[in-house]
Structure 1
Amino acid sequence: MIDKSSPLPIYYQLEELIKKQIETGELEPGDALPSEREYSETYQISRMTVRQAVNQLVQNGMLYRQQGKGTFVAERKIEKQLLGLTSFTEDMQGRGVQTSSDVVEFNIVLANAYIAGQMQLKKKDPVYEIKRIRLAENTPMAYEITYLPATLLNGLTKEAAAQSIYRYIEQHLNSPIGQAKQTIEASAADDVEAEYLQIAKGSPILLIERNTRLKDGTPVELAKSVYRADRYKFKVDISR
């Protein structure tokens, strides 16, 4: 309920009320929210206050708008803890989520100067270039472009690339993956990314670049991953 005598702003109380309805399942993904007028009449508050509360929930990804149709409950974001090095497949399977990969391109190309420098190769050394759409419960979650040293991982197939590449690397080389350097930044989907992720061009995305090494320091992967910002978020616990 809304308590108008509370020191908490009314828009914040309504925001928390809608959040609780979503978290308890009273409002489920895809459900349409009541109109501003309905909220206003139900709680005897201004439509501007309702709009402020709904805008906050749209901004944090719990709700989304469709022009001419209304405001709806968004699918819950998958939360990834930024502790430990796991593949997309391992991460989803650990949550009990069915995952799959659609390999849209599988080629051997010659390393350019940047790839060679990052992977301690010579320019024009052969590398696998693998482009995959990563799906969770048949929904596109990420689009990845991965480079792997072809000489080191000789024999990799398109079929194997549709599974966990990390698992393949560790089994093929009989050596564990040790560490990775990773950067995360906000970006906007270009034409290709939007098409593969089934989102509108310019939609917010999370751009991740990762350089992965075996336990002995040998570079084995250079990857660029683009995650849907409406379905994925990263979490890190920090202590002082």
Structure 2
Amino acid sequence: MNSRLVTIKLSGDKGTPVYQQIKDAIRAKMQSGEWQAGKMIPSENQLADSLNASRMTINRSLRELTAEGLLKRVHGLGTFVAEPPRHAHLVKLVSISDEIKQQGKQHSSQLLSVETVISDAELSERMQLAEKTPVYKVVLVHSQDSVPIQIEIRYVNPELVPDFLEVDFTETTPAEHLIKSIRPDELEHI
């Protein structure tokens, strides 16, 4: 890339460090689509010449943008605009019953309790509810081929699933009921 073609305008804000102005300008080039994912950006020397900045200042800007995942530096090749992260489900919603059946095994569960409890400070924070909010709590033991393998303790916000206490958990698992009742983007695994 020819240094004459590097056109980056810094904000000129005296209160903002030069390296930050350079980061902001590079970020703007990427966001505008002028510098696209996978494409090489100008070298440190080209940027330093074009911006009348030291190579150390340019290097700091590029290092920080690399640490943020916006740039990718390849030794001996140059610096490239990083590919955007692929969106993936952070939690795959699968019922333990389905997992066990997929292995060709027999699933069973024993319901130990299902009740309404008052959330304490820790639970309220984790569920992002006001303290002392009523929540549903269910406790089950899941077995695979009659061997207990998991204790499930699940808290549910009654506003999201008002019929939760009415469900027969000997016929369906709490996870299966929640998957049917709530859109996946409303669920949060804590």
Normalised to the residue count of structure 2, the TM-score between the two structures is 0.48
**Higher normalized strand content (fraction of residues):** 1
Normalised to the residue count of structure 1, the TM-score between the two structures is 0.39
Higher alpha-carbon Rg: 2
**Higher normalized helix content (fraction of residues):** 2
